Amino acid sequence: MSKHHGEIYRYVLRVTGRRSDADDLSQETFLRAFRAYRSLPPDANWRAWLFAIATNLCRNHFRGQSRRRLAYAQVSVGARERQEEGPEHVALGREVGQVVDTIVGRLPLKQRLAFVQRKVHGLDYEAIGESLQCSAESARAHVFQALKKIRRALDGTEKEPRA
Amino acid sequence: MSQRAKSCVEIEPDLVAAATGEAEPAQSRRVSDHVGDCPPCRREFEQYRTIDHEVGRLASEGSEAQAVARSRERLEARLFDLRSRLVAYEIFPSAFGDILIARSEQGVLLVEYLRGHGRMAIKESRLTGAPGIEAVPVPGEVERFHRELRDYLDGRTHRLTWPLDFRLARSAFHRKVLEATAAIPYGAVMSYRGLACEIGRPEAVRATAQALRWNPLPIVVPCHRVIGSSGALTGYAGGKTTRKQRLLTLEGVPTVRKRDDFEVQRDAMYVLAPGEHEYCLPTCPSVDPFPRGGVLFSVRGRAEAQGLQPCGACRPDLHPLTPAQH
């Protein structure tokens, strides 16, 4: 089971952007999985199940984080600046890979979770939908919206003049 | 502000699918036809392909290898710790009320008669709050033990050969008492005093009884086969002796009601004196009716199954106890 730890770590890191969170949440994923794996049917898709646990933990993590922020109103200036900075600005003068990486980190959470699961880890939409508690079609729509946002950011403009 | 052509808006999902390798052949054809005539969409198509390529790079296995290895090391240590703490349990109905069976990786560590039902019952279980234990209900995990226990309670089997985990024993002394109790054969009884002698602590009769009161593995570690020197059942699992009497009756041990307790009919059982290899009739002049450290057998066959011979003086083989004496 823990052979999947590397990719769960990378998944959480891509979603949270912090090594400490990736460390904590990836470990927590496997501890939870270890407690519950015996109740899984033998033909269950273990990998998708681990991603679902990690996804749930990520969502709880961000929920808790926003609660803490509200409670203490301690959003750092740097963080706020990063949030306020529109995706269209980041394309300027940076490598495409870096930009993609940065934009992925700024996608709305559901889109980010769906996008990373699909495009980085290759999970099918059915599994992604289950992890996000939505339909496979909604999962596909999240990925589509994420790709559109990334492309627009690369383009450097929200609305592009078209023929 | 310029408006996108309707055809460009409509083709976008197909275009994204085609650029990122998820398109059906029909979608790919539509996109190919469209981008041939629409330079902005061709540009978009190229951008999506670039994104797809870059995202593919993000997925490369080598990245963060050191951090992953460090995290994995910590995970292994935490899993090791969890594995040692994790206990799977299940609750089963039985003729004796709800019974909880819990097991660790080492073996069965708790068989418990529950008071009450459902959530309240588990709240009062010894598993709740036991230090160093994380109890998880896992359907099917202790099924084998439940099946064998049911067979035992229905009289279909006489032995429960389970791997045991004595971690809930309260002390090394308690553990020693439990291990000695586990050796008392089916259909036999021993006194608390006899058991104390057996473990080399003849003065610790009450402590021995307390160890059995807290027996975490009743039935499997047959504390119901330990009775008072007078023959009275005395107590069972910290409560009334009704269950103890039922278990002894199931094993063929004759009992009679005595006020609010039961008593084993010692004069209807074969006697094995400590250190002896021959079993006797209860009337044999060479033994006490219930010698210290001795064992009483309900049936000759059970004594002989332990490798014992009939006494040459009283000849229980020639004068077996009759069912009437039972």
Q: How far apart are CA A52 and CA A131, in angstroms?
A: 4
Same domain, B75 and B108: yes
Average pLDDT, chain B: 89
Give the side-chain half-sphere CA count within 13 A for A93.
1
CB atoms within 10 A of CB B275: 8
Which residues make Cβ contacts (< 8 Å) with residue B199, sequence separation at least 6? Answer: B176, B177, B180, B208
Same domain, B185 and B160: no
Q: How far apart are CA B117 and CA B92, in angstroms?
A: 10
Q: Given B167, B187, B206, which residue is the final one in a domain?
A: B167
Q: Give the distance, in angstroms, between the CA of residue A60 and the centroid of all CA atoms in the same chain.
A: 12
Same domain, B26 and B154: no
Same domain, B305 and B318: yes
Assigned domain for B251 exists: yes
Single-letter residue type at B268: A
pLDDT in tens, B242-261: 899 999 999 999 999 988 88
B324 touches chain A (CB under 8 A): no
Question: By three-state DSSP, how is residue B218 classified?
Answer: coil
Same domain, B191 and B227: yes
Dihedrals phi, psi of B91, to nearest 5 degrees: -115, 135
Q: CA of B147, closest CA in chain A: separation in Å? A: 19
Does pLDDT of B291 surpass 70? yes
Q: CA of A47, closest CA in chain B: separation in Å? A: 16
Q: Which domains does chain A have, with CATH numbers?
A: 1-74 (1.10.1740.10), 86-163 (1.10.10.10)
Q: CA of B120, closest CA in chain A: separation in Å? A: 22
Residues of A within 8 A of B79 (CB-CB) are 2, 30-31, 34
- Select from A107, A147, A155, A157 the residue whose CB has the most chain B CBs within 10 Å, as the one to mutate to test that interface: A147
**pLDDT, average across residues B233-238:** 82
- Tell me, what's the ipTM? 0.77
Assigned domain for B72 exists: yes
CB contact at 8 A, A128 and B22: no
Assigned domain for B6 exists: no
**Residue A37's pLDDT band (cuts 50, 70, 90):** confident
Same domain, B300 and B185: yes
Same domain, B229 and B325: yes
Q: Do B4 and A155 touch (CB under 8 A)?
A: no
**pLDDT, average across residues A64-75:** 61
Q: State residue A157's pLDDT score.
A: 47
Its sign, for the CA torsion A119, A121, A123, A129, is negative
**Distance of CA B280 to CAs B153, B295, B297, B303, B310, Å?**
29, 11, 10, 10, 6
Q: Do B44 and A151 touch (CB under 8 A)?
A: yes
Does pLDDT of B126 surpass 70? yes
Assigned domain for B185 exists: yes
**Residue A160's pLDDT band (cuts 50, 70, 90):** very low
Same domain, B84 and B112: yes
Q: Which residues of B are catalytic?
A: 223
Does pLDDT of A92 surpass 80? no
Q: CA of B82, closest CA in chain A: separation in Å? A: 8
Which residues make Cβ contacts (< 8 Å) with residue B117, sequence separation at least 6? Answer: B98
Assigned domain for B1 exists: no
Instruction: Please count the residue pairs, one from chain A and one from chain B, whose beta carbons lie less than 8 angstroms apart.
Output: 111
pLDDT in tens, B138-183: 888 899 999 999 999 999 999 899 999 999 999 999 999 999 999 9
Which string of DSSP letters, residue by residue, matches A35-87? Answer: HHGGGS-TT--HHHHHHHHHHHHHHHHHHHHHHHHHHH----HHHHHHHHS-H
Same domain, B54 and B181: no
Q: By residue range, what is the domain housing residue B152?
A: 63-167
A101 touches chain B (CB under 8 A): yes
Assigned domain for B319 exists: yes
Q: Do B47 and A155 touch (CB under 8 A)?
A: yes
Matching residue, tokens 């996804």: A55
Same domain, B37 and B105: no
Question: What is the CATH classification number for the domain harbouring B275?
Answer: 1.10.10.10
Q: How far apart are CA B41 and CA B200, in angstroms?
A: 91
CB atoms within 10 A of CB B187: 21
Q: State residue A84's pLDDT score.
A: 41
How many domains, chain B?
3
Q: Given B167, B192, B217, which residue is the final one in a domain?
A: B167
Q: Given B121, B136, B167, which residue is the final one in a domain?
A: B167
Same domain, B118 and B220: no
pLDDT in tens, B41-78: 999 999 899 888 888 777 665 667 889 999 999 999 99
What part of B 3-32 touches A (C-beta under 8 Å)? 3-5, 8, 12-13, 16, 20
Q: Are strands B309-310 and B278-280 parallel, antiparallel or unpaired?
A: parallel
Q: Which chain A residue lies closest to B74 (C-alpha atoms)?
A: A27
Same domain, B149 and B242: no
A10 touches chain B (CB under 8 A): yes
Question: What is the CATH classification number for the domain harbouring B113?
Answer: 3.30.160.70
Assigned domain for B2 exists: no
**pLDDT, average across residues A28-44:** 87
Q: Which chain B residue lies closest to A162 (C-alpha atoms)?
A: B4
Residues of A within 8 A of B72 (CB-CB) are 2, 5-6, 9
Q: How far apart are CA B301 and CA B156, in angstroms?
A: 17
Q: How far apart are CA A4 and CA A7, in angstroms?
A: 6
**A38 vs B47, B78, B88: nearest CB:** B88
Q: State residue A162's pLDDT score.
A: 42
Q: Where are the alpha helices (DSSP H) in chain B?
A: 6-19, 25-37, 39-58, 65-85, 118-123, 143-153, 172-182, 192-198, 205-213, 242-250, 300-305
Assigned domain for B289 exists: yes
